[in-house]
């Protein structure tokens, strides 16, 4: 019996690939009321335009330090290709990518899948930990585009996977390799996740709970405890704490001399890992006499691609 053709959509944030992309990329982010509400709805886009214009020069300078743009699109495309190959013996699958705030946009992915006449779509979030600001926004955009296109097939949502076995093993292996960099010297493991406004958690967002599930599963494998903090906050609201710079200063006060930082909510290297952790936070730690190393993104590690494959196969027949 022939299996129905299944489309796989990898959901991710996207990023500016070159300097001139930075301002419109920021505009797309700040136009999304699901992650930030800028006054009345009618003012959202005008205010987003003003904020993007103001922030673009600083953001562009940051991207300039990691090659001029974000590698997240190219890495996600590599993940897409690797997953397509990994699924080649499992059925009739077509893997594509939908970025939320930059090309390739969700609309493009939907057009590709409908042209291929897929009978089922599996939306696979590349955010292991669910938040309405990340996976939630991407899924809503996908469903909106499918509705506009009058898609009548099934949609399966893989919206979180904080303790998927292969993913956890990937992180544990990265940590073990990272600890080897310090030989036998004492090292503090620090998990750094993208921050969120506290209000999101108070309103029921499971993001922090998902992070804690990941850490518990990793520590069960490594036997090494770590501490959680949050990076990439912006704007005048209360954010999750402690912030990553605060954690570094706290550890300095405690006499820490070595940190292994694990970028917990990112599966691909991009500006938060390549600049914030490996440049800005490493420099801050150095000011306190602390050596800071980080674990690299999971990117196209075979075991991580196996995690994505197993997630697809575990859910592809749902709905």
The one-digit pLDDT tens for each residue of the chain (319 residues) are 457 899 999 999 999 999 999 999 999 999 998 888 888 889 999 999 999 999 999 999 999 999 999 999 999 999 999 999 999 999 999 999 999 999 999 999 999 999 999 999 999 999 999 999 999 999 999 999 999 999 999 999 999 999 999 999 999 999 999 999 999 899 999 999 999 999 999 999 999 999 999 999 999 999 999 999 999 987 778 999 999 999 999 999 999 999 999 999 989 999 999 999 999 999 999 999 999 999 999 999 999 999 999 999 999 877 5
- Encoded tokens for 25: 């990329």
Question: If we measure between CA atoms, which residue out of 122, 125, 112 comes closest to residue 153?
Answer: 122
Cα 161 to Cα 7, 47, 269, distances in angstroms = 19, 35, 19
Q: Where in the chain is the domain with CATH 3.40.50.1400?
A: 165-294
Let me know: does 233 contact 239? Beta carbons within 8 Å.
yes
Which 8-state DSSP code applies to residue 227?
A: E
- Encoded tokens for 310: 């197993």
Residue 272 is assigned to a ligand binding site: yes
Q: What are phi and psi of 94, to 5 degrees?
A: -125, 115
pTM of the full structure: 0.95
Question: Number of C-alpha atoms within 13 angstroms, CB side, residue 269?
Answer: 19
Fold category of 165-294 in CATH: Rossmann fold (3.40.50)
Cα 189 to Cα 182, 211, 278, 282, 293, distances in angstroms = 12, 15, 15, 14, 10
């Amino acid at each position: 019996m022939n299996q129905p053709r299944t489309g796989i959509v990898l959901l991710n944030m996207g990023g500016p690939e070159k300097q001139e992309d930075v301002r419109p990329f920021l505009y797309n982010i700040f136009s999304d009321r699901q992650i930030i509400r800028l006054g009345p709805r009618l003012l959202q886009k005008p205010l987003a335009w003003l904020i993007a214009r103001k922030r673009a020069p600083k953001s562009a300078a940051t991207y300039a330090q990691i090659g001029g743009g974000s590698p997240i699109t190219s890495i996600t495309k590599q993940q897409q290709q690797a997953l397509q190959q990994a699924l080649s013996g499992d059925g009739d699958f077509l893997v594509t990518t939908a970025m939320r705030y930059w090309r390739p946009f969700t609309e493009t992915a939907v057009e590709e899948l409908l042209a291929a006449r897929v009978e089922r779509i599996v939306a696979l979030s590349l955010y292991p930990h669910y938040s309405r600001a990340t996976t939630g926004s991407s899924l809503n955009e996908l469903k909106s585009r499918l509705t506009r296109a009058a898609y009548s097939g099934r949609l399966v949502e893989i919206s979180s996977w904080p303790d998927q076995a292969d993913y956890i093993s990937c992180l544990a292996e990265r940590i073990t390799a990272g600890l080897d960099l310090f030989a036998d010297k004492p090292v503090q493991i620090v998990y750094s996740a993208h921050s969120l406004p506290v209000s999101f958690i108070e309103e029921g967002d499971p993001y922090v709970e998902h992070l804690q599930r990941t850490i518990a599963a990793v520590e069960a494998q490594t036997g090494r405890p770590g501490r959680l903090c949050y990076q990439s906050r912006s704007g005048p609201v209360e954010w999750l704490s402690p912030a990553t710079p605060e954690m570094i200063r706290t550890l300095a006060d405690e006499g820490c001399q070595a940190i292994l930082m694990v970028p917990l909510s990112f599966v691909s290297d991009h500006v938060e890992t390549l600049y914030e952790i490996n440049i800005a936070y490493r420099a801050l730690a150095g000011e306190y006499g602390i050596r800071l190393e980080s674990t690299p993104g999971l990117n196209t590690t075979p075991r991580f691609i196996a995690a994505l494959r197993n997630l697809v196969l575990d859910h592809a027949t749902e709905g």
